Chain A
Amino acid sequence: MIAAAGLSRAFNGRPAVEDLTFEVPSGALCALLGPNGAGKTTTVRLLMGLIGPSAGGATVAGLRIGADAATNAAIRRTCGLLTETPGFYDRLSAWDNLRFFGRLYGLDGADLDGRLRRYLDLMELWERRDEMVATFSKGMKQRLAIIRAVFHDPKVVFLDEPTSGLDPEAALGVRELILRLKGEGRTIVVCTHNLDEAERLADIVGVMKRRLLLFARLDDLRAERQGPGTVAIEVRVPGEACELALRGLPCVTSVALHERSYRIGLTDQREIPAAVRALADASAAILRVEPEASTLEALYLSAVREED
């Protein structure tokens, strides 16, 4: 659905993104990770046809970006964009705002009204549709912006920092919505700093810092992740039986107790389930299992630090 080959863009001679080559298949959710200024937003703007590439190219839904104005317009019709800040006309109602953008997408009349009703219902904003957007909370504005990004039924949806600045409940709601969009078969690209969010949502992750440092399916990364590691397992009542059970495992290299938490050295991170099973067999009530670093976090940090 999205294919970039050597995609690059410079501003005043200074590269913002360089030589991006990747593919996102139809229906997949790709998380683009990277520090501030890594070029995530520039990448989205390039793929939306909002700005042209300095070198290389890309196709989105079979359309080549920057081919001509008509192709760029066709790409924008095929895609939906959630910008980092959900900009709306504060003095207009939610309904009037969405109708304005709907008409910019060429929708009108009963078709547009029907779509708006469906999505406003879905996002639990139907009752507030006639209120001015100025009175909305940030979470409500974000939900409204998600409606704007998807109500024209785009094949590809770009979401730039979809949960940034939201409280945990609102963020959870937005994540559920993203999964629902994915369930509808849309191809989704999420730009985020939030590694946990990426790990929960994504099929594919890309780590970028001007260049693409890593781009792979999350499942493949998890399977490839191996080697020594440490896990902390908190139990309700620690005891000798627990320690003996752990030390009896060939994959365990060290065991240290800190308050109610065992810090366990392992020959391979993939042996974490074996350690948990041993404690369970020793009748330990397990409260928490925390690997030293999540797979994605470790990969992200190693990729970004290596680049530095």
Chain B
Amino acid sequence: MRLVTLFLTKELRDIHRNRNVVPLYIIMPLLMVVFTIGFTWMVPTILAMARTQQDPGMLAAIRAARAIPEFAGMPEPEALTRYVLRTLVGFYLLLPTVGAGTAAAFSIVGEKTQRTLEPILATPITDRQLLLGKMLGALVPPIAASWAVALIATIGVDLIGWHRFGETLMPDRFWLVGVLLLGPLLGASATLLTMRLSARMTDAQAANQATALIVMPIFLVVLGVFGRIMVASFTAALVSCAVALAAALYLLQVNLARFRREEILTRWK
């Protein structure tokens, strides 16, 4: 375990000094906080405009919010605010999934391009330790970032909610399951999938392109299939977690079975 966490520590030091990760770890989290708090703040205005202009999209959203049994007895602004917050959970799945996927894409191929792979493989570290270490190094920073952002957003939203409705709005159970469970599980799946690709790739650009081609569509499909149901049904949210967990465990087994230092060493020229 000590060796596995060593890669995480190294990764965190590297991120600290890497300006290229600013969009992922600064701009994207900032946008997430601004969107979450901004939408919460704007709900009464949006509601008023929708009523005045009879905007069909917004009216459909209001109808969808009212259709959720938990929100049925609530005033319209509160029901719509809670509905919007629940749909925004998808936003908080994006950072761990894409962040971990991108980092994982570079995990093995990055060691190859920096010429650090062979010196690492020349140490007594086992294949399993290397795989788990690289996985942890790719997965933990974006998850930690998404949790930190969720916490900040929660505080902001609750300040508005307390002021406006006299009660806190977040975190509800959907938010907790989404941010604390589904995000990390999707991130783990994305990490393991792209690490498998990264071990077979010979340059960073190819690894990044493969990640974009595979991780994003999968993420969109998951959200497309489960997103609308997840907002309404807590059971659906739990089922999504179970599916993501099964995918992550399967991909972990595949990686452990196929991750061989000889393969990743000799495929690289």
Binding site for B on A (CB under 8 A): 11, 45, 48, 50-52, 69, 73-74, 76-77, 79-81, 83, 85-92, 96, 100-101, 103-106, 132, 145, 148
Query: Would you call the interface of chain B mostly helix, strand, loop, or mixed?
Result: helix
B127: chain A residues within 8 A (beta carbon): 69
Interface core residue of B114, B123, B127 (most chain A CB under 10 Å): B123
Given contacts A89-B10, A92-B10, contact A104 B124 (CB under 8 A): yes
Given contacts A11-B266, A45-B265, contact A132 B122 (CB under 8 A): no
CB distance from B126 to the nearest CB of A (A): 7
Cα of A69 to Cα of B262 in the assembled complex, Å: 12
Decide: A74 and B116 in contact? CB cutoff 8 A: no
Chain A residue with the shortest CB-CB distance to B265: A50
Given contacts A89-B116, A91-B17, A103-B3, contact A50 B123 (CB under 8 A): no
Residue-wise interface mask of B (7-38) relative to A, using a CB-CB cutoff of 8 A (1 in contact, 0 not) = 00010011001100000000000000000000
Q: Which of B14, B17, B114, B265 contacts A87 (CB 8 A)?
A: B114
Chain A residue with the shortest CB-CB distance to B117: A87
> Across chains A and B, which 9 residue pairs bring their CB atoms closest together, nearest first?
A87-B115, A104-B123, A87-B116, A81-B122, A73-B124, A91-B17, A77-B124, A85-B115, A51-B262
Decide: A101 and B119 in contact? CB cutoff 8 A: yes
CB distance from A57 to the nearest CB of B (A): 16
Chain A residue with the shortest CB-CB distance to B127: A69
| A-B contact list, 5 entries, CB within 8 Å | A11-B266, A86-B115, A90-B114, A96-B10, A104-B3
CB distance from B110 to the nearest CB of A (A): 10
B55: chain A residues within 8 A (beta carbon): none
CB distance from B199 to the nearest CB of A (A): 15
Q: A86-B115, A101-B123, A105-B124 are in contact. List 18 more A-B contacts (CB 8 A).
A: A48-B122, A50-B118, A50-B262, A51-B265, A51-B266, A73-B125, A76-B122, A76-B123, A81-B118, A87-B117, A87-B118, A88-B116, A89-B114, A91-B13, A92-B14, A96-B10, A103-B6, A104-B124
Band of interface residues on B: 20 to 34
Cα of A96 to Cα of B127 in the assembled complex, Å: 23
B115: chain A residues within 8 A (beta carbon): 83, 85-87
Cα of A76 to Cα of B6 in the assembled complex, Å: 19
B50: chain A residues within 8 A (beta carbon): none
Decide: A50 and B116 in contact? CB cutoff 8 A: no
Cα of A85 to Cα of B18 in the assembled complex, Å: 23
Q: Which of B114, B118, B120 contacts A104 (CB 8 A)?
A: B120
B121 proximal to A (CB < 8 A) = yes
Cα of A148 to Cα of B118 in the assembled complex, Å: 12
Given contacts A83-B119, A100-B6, contact A91 B14 (CB under 8 A): yes
A145: chain B residues within 8 A (beta carbon): 119
B121: chain A residues within 8 A (beta carbon): 50
Decide: B124 and A132 in contact? CB cutoff 8 A: no
A92: chain B residues within 8 A (beta carbon): 10, 13-14, 17
B200 proximal to A (CB < 8 A) = no
Interface residues in B89-128 by Cβ distance below 8 A to A read 114-127
Chain A residue with the shortest CB-CB distance to B18: A91
Given contacts A50-B121, A89-B14, A148-B119, contact A104 B6 (CB under 8 A): yes
B66 proximal to A (CB < 8 A) = no
Interface core residue of A83, A87, A105 (most chain B CB under 10 Å): A87
Chain A residue with the shortest CB-CB distance to B263: A51
Cα of A148 to Cα of B120 in the assembled complex, Å: 11
Cα of A122 to Cα of B143 in the assembled complex, Å: 42
Residue-wise interface mask of B (185-205) relative to A, using a CB-CB cutoff of 8 A (1 in contact, 0 not) = 000000000000000000000
Chain A residue with the shortest CB-CB distance to B5: A103
Cα of A88 to Cα of B114 in the assembled complex, Å: 7
B119: chain A residues within 8 A (beta carbon): 81, 83, 87, 101, 145, 148
Q: Which of B10, B117, B118, B126 contacts A69 (CB 8 A)?
A: B126
Interface core residue of B114, B115, B124 (most chain A CB under 10 Å): B124
B266: chain A residues within 8 A (beta carbon): 11, 51
Cα of A60 to Cα of B124 in the assembled complex, Å: 15
Decide: A105 and B123 in contact? CB cutoff 8 A: yes
CB distance from B24 to the nearest CB of A (A): 16
Interface core residue of A48, A69, A103 (most chain B CB under 10 Å): A103
CB distance from A198 to the nearest CB of B (A): 23
A73: chain B residues within 8 A (beta carbon): 124-126
Cα of A106 to Cα of B126 in the assembled complex, Å: 12
Decide: B124 and A100 in contact? CB cutoff 8 A: no
A81: chain B residues within 8 A (beta carbon): 118-119, 122
Cα of A74 to Cα of B126 in the assembled complex, Å: 11
Given contacts A50-B261, A89-B14, A96-B13, contact A104 B116 (CB under 8 A): no
Cα of A85 to Cα of B115 in the assembled complex, Å: 7
Cα of A88 to Cα of B14 in the assembled complex, Å: 12
Chain B residue with the shortest CB-CB distance to A73: B124
B13: chain A residues within 8 A (beta carbon): 91-92, 96
A45: chain B residues within 8 A (beta carbon): 265
CB distance from A6 to the nearest CB of B (A): 20
Chain A residue with the shortest CB-CB distance to B261: A50
Decide: B124 and A74 in contact? CB cutoff 8 A: yes
CB distance from A67 to the nearest CB of B (A): 15
CB distance from A96 to the nearest CB of B (A): 6
